[in-house]
Chain A
Amino acid sequence: MTLQNCIYLSTILFCIGIYGVLTRRNLIGILLSIEIILNAANINFIAFSHFSASDAAAGSIFPIFVMAVSASEMAVALAIIISLYRQSNNLDSRLLRSLHG
């Protein structure tokens, strides 16, 4: 378990999340993929703070902030999704064109 292996792990997770964002068509599926990307960022923070930080407490405070931001993001996004579903009864990202101009 070295720092480089941890960075490889978070790179793989990031790419998996990007793949999910690009290929999922349901809006909730896209949100799940974004969660994977945030998880990869947290793993990077934790790995750097464990292996190379002189001040390791700061490295474990940052993931807490990431969690708070992602929780508020999920609340707003799911509210938007519920509102959209109530209006148009579908969540396909290809059929939602009301902001297309």
Chain B
Amino acid sequence: MSADSAFYFTAGLITLFSLLVVTVPNLLHAALALIASFFVTAAFYLMCSMEFVALAQIMVYIGGVVILMVITILLTAQLGAKNLFPKTMGQRIWGFMACSALGASMFAAISRVEGGIVGKGIPATGSGDLETLGRRLLESDADGFLVPFELISILLLTALLGAVVVARKGQRINK
């Protein structure tokens, strides 16, 4: 399979699974479709020779975030109840019109670029390997990303503490 047909196959699968996420009525099925969409996106990252990002996508998104959402869905949604939140037709029509107008304008803007958006010709290779990434992530000179890395660490810690505080038992928000 050539690179082009592989790209179209991957892109079609990502689009299909994402459409399933926003259209299926059962939320558990939507979460499973989201997992499939993330797997195919990881395959796309591999095609772009970004191995570390692909693995991080699988481990962080699929192993962490979506599993957390699945657990929350199982805790909250009454899965047996049919048509818990029926979508109104007007909402669908308005949503479809809004997002298709947005998409059409973005497509028009992209395709108006002279000669198309092209890169520098030669795709970058060998840049996603683990050693380069790790060094760049922890270097403190002008090339490094040490400060954003530490900021992200503080953000994660704060968010997890805040999540524990908000979800604690016996708390009432608006008494």
Residues of A within 8 A of B (CB): 1-5, 7-9, 11-20, 22-26, 28-29, 31-33, 35-36, 39, 42-43, 46-61, 63-65, 67-76, 78-83, 85-87, 91-92, 98
A67: chain B residues at CB < 8 Å are 56-57, 60-61
Q: How many A-B residue pairs have CB under 8 A?
A: 234
B123: chain A residues at CB < 8 Å are 50-51
Count of chain B residues with a beta carbon within 8 Å of a chain A beta carbon? 87
Residue interface bits B28-39, CB-to-A below 8 A is 1, else 0:
001100100110
| B65 lies within 8 A of A74 (CB) | yes
Main secondary structure of the interface of A (DSSP, over half): helix
Residues of B within 8 A of A (CB): 3-4, 6-7, 11, 14-15, 18-19, 21-22, 27, 30-31, 34, 37-38, 41, 44-45, 47-50, 52-53, 56-57, 60-61, 64-66, 68-69, 72-73, 75-77, 84-85, 87, 91-92, 94-96, 98-100, 102-103, 106-107, 110, 116-120, 123-124, 127-128, 132-133, 136-137, 145, 148, 152, 155-156, 158-160, 162-164, 166-167, 169, 171-174
